[in-house]
């Protein structure tokens, strides 16, 4: 056995400094001898880590080291994560944003990705699109079963339960950037100019907040339907490329159709699907609930006179669509979320209030000291059993 942390002499063969920790796996640390076959597993206590999401702005700012506030926070987050109290998984949206990063000060996108992965200790959320799809599918099944529309989040939709296990010594780099999956779906008019050019119209629109939320829901349903029919039409016309380059959202309706047994006539299946799209089950789907309201709050703020300077708005909203993806997809599954000031003020708006809706604490530079207090409290909450587990699993830890 390959001993990673030498603890002393082997209790069986007496081999000098041959015995120690081999690996940490699940809720145990394997100890063994380099010399003989002796091994033993020391159990570690069950733990439940807090899940923190760091947006791209945090990672790139901490990586560039221009602003000491981010560097300090990143250091503290790394410490508490090493204590197995916290996990800061990265997502496919980070991968996409990093992939489009132009580099800085001799560093390239691979360096930034490595920084993100090492801060995350290799922990990763499930693919953004898979989370979106699982949520829709789950809501549809509940709808078909005539059960109430309340959405049960289920952490495993967004993240593997093994994030709550004790970390092993070595990070396994899965290293698969799936590339254009998210890019393909984000091509639709998602430029900051297009967005900001809509502001004057939104400012004078007379629709109410609730109407705007409803409009967003209809738009979402419409885009799932349209992209599906476009896909089907391309396939029917013999365009095999449709299989490879269709937006991934075109698969949603297909998945819903798979939920029906063959005996149910097609017209009934379609009626059910269109009923679902206007049902509360659909509008309670977390990623839709959040993204629809982010747009509706933005419209509300515009009517109240915010973001009148076009140039400033262009800078302000540069990462808006990606920011929405990060938040809408993952925030409900996080205990806390670090985002920029502009997004924080939107999601803290009483019409969204992520914290009361999903229990997610929001941190931004506007309440930066609160982030440190939250981290301190988390560290202070460590049980004696957990502390002993840390010493057993990671003998070089200084506590
Ligand atoms: Zn031995």
pLDDT reported for residue 178: 59
Element (H, E) at 196: helix 192-204
Give exposure, 224-243, as e/b (b: 16+ Cβ within 10 Å). bbebbeebeebeeeeeeebe
CA of 32 to the centre of ligand 1 (A): 7
- Residue 37 inside a domain? The answer is yes
Q: How far is CA 181 from CA 45, 151, 184, 188, 241, in A?
A: 39, 26, 6, 13, 15
Same domain, 351 and 378: yes
Q: How many CB atoms lie within 10 A of CB 205?
A: 14
CA 311 to chain centre: 30
Residue 40 in domain: yes
Instruction: For tokens 């476009």, name the residue.
Output: 230
Show contacts of 127-132: CB within 8 Å, 24+ apart: 127/92, 127/178, 127/181, 128/91, 128/92, 128/93, 128/182, 128/325, 128/329, 128/330, 129/92, 129/181, 129/182, 129/185, 129/248, 131/157, 131/158, 131/287, 131/329, 131/330, 132/287, 132/329
Which H or E run includes 5? Answer: strand 5-8
Residue 95 and residue 177: Cα distance in Å, rounded? 7
Residue 40 corresponds to which tokens in the numbers above? Answer: 């033993």
Q: Do residues 281 and 143 make contact, with C-beta atoms less than 8 angstroms apart? A: yes
Is residue 312 in some structural domain?
yes
| Residue 275 domain flag | no
Q: Residues 20, 149: one domain?
A: no
- Do 185 and 289 lie in one domain? The reply is yes
Whole-number pLDDT of residue 233: 96
Q: Which domain holds residue 152?
A: 50-189+281-382
> Do 10 and 79 fall within a single domain?
no
Q: What is the pLDDT of residue 164?
A: 97
Instruction: Please tell me the distance between residue 157's alpha carbon and the centre of ligand 1 in angstroms.
Output: 44
As averages over each run of 10 residues, the pLDDT of the chain (399 residues) reads: 95 97 96 96 97 96 95 98 97 90 88 95 94 97 97 96 95 64 48 90 96 96 94 94 83 95 96 97 98 97 94 90 95 97 95 97 98 98 97 84
Please indicate, yes or no, if residue 176 is contained in any of the structural domains.
yes
Q: Which of helix, strand or coil describes residue 43?
A: strand
User: What is the 3-state composition of the chain as percent helix, strand, coil, each rounded to the nearest 5?
Assistant: 55, 10, 35
Q: Rounded distance, CA 51 to CA 101, Å?
A: 26
From ligand 1's centre to the CA of 34, what distance in Å?
7
CA 17 to ligand 1 centroid distance, Å: 9
Count CB neighbours of 30 within 10 A.
15
Q: Rounded distance, CA 39 to CA 19, Å?
A: 9
Q: How far is the CA of 20 from the centre of ligand 1 (A)?
A: 10
314 alpha carbon to ligand 1 midpoint, in Å? 66
Same domain, 59 and 138: yes
How far does residue 18's CA lie from ligand 1's centre (Å)? 7
* Residues 173, 32 share a domain: no
Number of domains in the chain: 2
Q: Are residues 41 and 177 in the same domain?
A: no
Distance 136 CA to ligand 1 centre (A): 55
10 and 80 in a single domain? The answer is no
d(CA 215, CA 220): 9
Please say whether the dihedral angle defined by the alpha carbons of residues 183, 363, 81 and 286, taken in this order, is positive or negative.
negative
For residue 308, how far is its CA from the centre of ligand 1 (angstroms)?
73
Tell me, yes or no, whether 254 lies in a domain: no
Distance from Cα 82 to the centre of ligand 1, integer Å:
30
Q: Tell me the CA–centroid distance for residue 392 and ligand 1, in Å.
A: 19
Q: Report the pLDDT value the prediction gives residue 180, as an integer from 0 to 100.
A: 52
Residue 107 has what DSSP assignment? B
What's the order of all strands across the beta sheet hosting 5-8?
Answer: 5-8, 19-25, 28-33, 39-43
- Residues contacting 69, CB < 8 A, separation 6+: 365, 368
Looking at the structure, tell me whether residues 179 and 303 fall in a common domain. Answer: yes
């Amino acid at each position: 056995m390959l001993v990673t942390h030498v603890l002393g002499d082997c209790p069986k063969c007496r081999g000098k400094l041959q015995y120690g920790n081999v690996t940490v796996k699940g809720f145990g640390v394997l100890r063994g001898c380099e010399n003989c076959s002796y091994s033993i597993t020391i159990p570690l206590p069950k733990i439940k880590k807090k899940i923190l999401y760091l947006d791209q702005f945090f990672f790139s700012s901490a990586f560039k080291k221009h602003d000491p506030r981010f560097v300090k926070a990143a250091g503290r987050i790394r410490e508490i994560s090493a204590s197995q109290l916290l996990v800061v998984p990265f997502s496919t949206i980070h991968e996409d944003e990093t992939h489009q990063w132009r580099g800085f000060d001799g560093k390239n996108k691979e360096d930034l990705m490595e920084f993100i992965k090492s801060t995350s200790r290799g922990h990763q959320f499930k693919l953004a699109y898979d989370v979106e799809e699982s949520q829709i599918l789950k809501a549809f099944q509940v709808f078909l079963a005539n059960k109430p529309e309340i959405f049960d989040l289920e952490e495993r939709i967004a993240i593997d339960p093994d994030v709550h296990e004790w970390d092993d010594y070595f990070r396994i780099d899965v290293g698969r950037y799936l590339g254009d999956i998210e890019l393909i779906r984000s091509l639709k008019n998602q430029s900051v100019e297009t967005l900001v050019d809509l502001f004057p119209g939104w400012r004078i629109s007379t629709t109410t907040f609730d109407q705007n939320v409803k409009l967003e829901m209809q738009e979402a349903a419409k885009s799932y339907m349209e992209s599906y029919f476009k896909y089907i039409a391309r396939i029917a016309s013999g365009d095999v490329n449709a299989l490879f380059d269709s937006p991934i959202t075109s698969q949603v309706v297909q998945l819903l159709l798979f939920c029906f047994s063959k005996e149910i006539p097609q017209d009934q299946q379609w009626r059910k699907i269109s009923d679902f799209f206007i049902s509360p089950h659909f509008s309670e789907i977390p990623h839709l609930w959040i993204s629809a309201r982010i747009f509706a709050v933005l419209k509300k703020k515009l009517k109240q006179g915010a973001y009148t300077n076009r140039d400033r708005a262009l800078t302000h909203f540069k990462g808006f669509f990606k920011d929405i993806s990060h938040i809408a997809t993952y925030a409900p599954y996080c205990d806390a979320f670090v985002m920029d000031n502009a997004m924080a003020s939107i999601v803290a708006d009483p019409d969204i209030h992520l914290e009361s809706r999903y229990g997610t604490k929001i941190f931004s530079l506007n309440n930066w000291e609160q982030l440190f207090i939250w981290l301190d409290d988390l560290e202070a909450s460590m049980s004696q059993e957990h502390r002993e587990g840390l010493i057993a699993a990671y003998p070089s830890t200084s506590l």
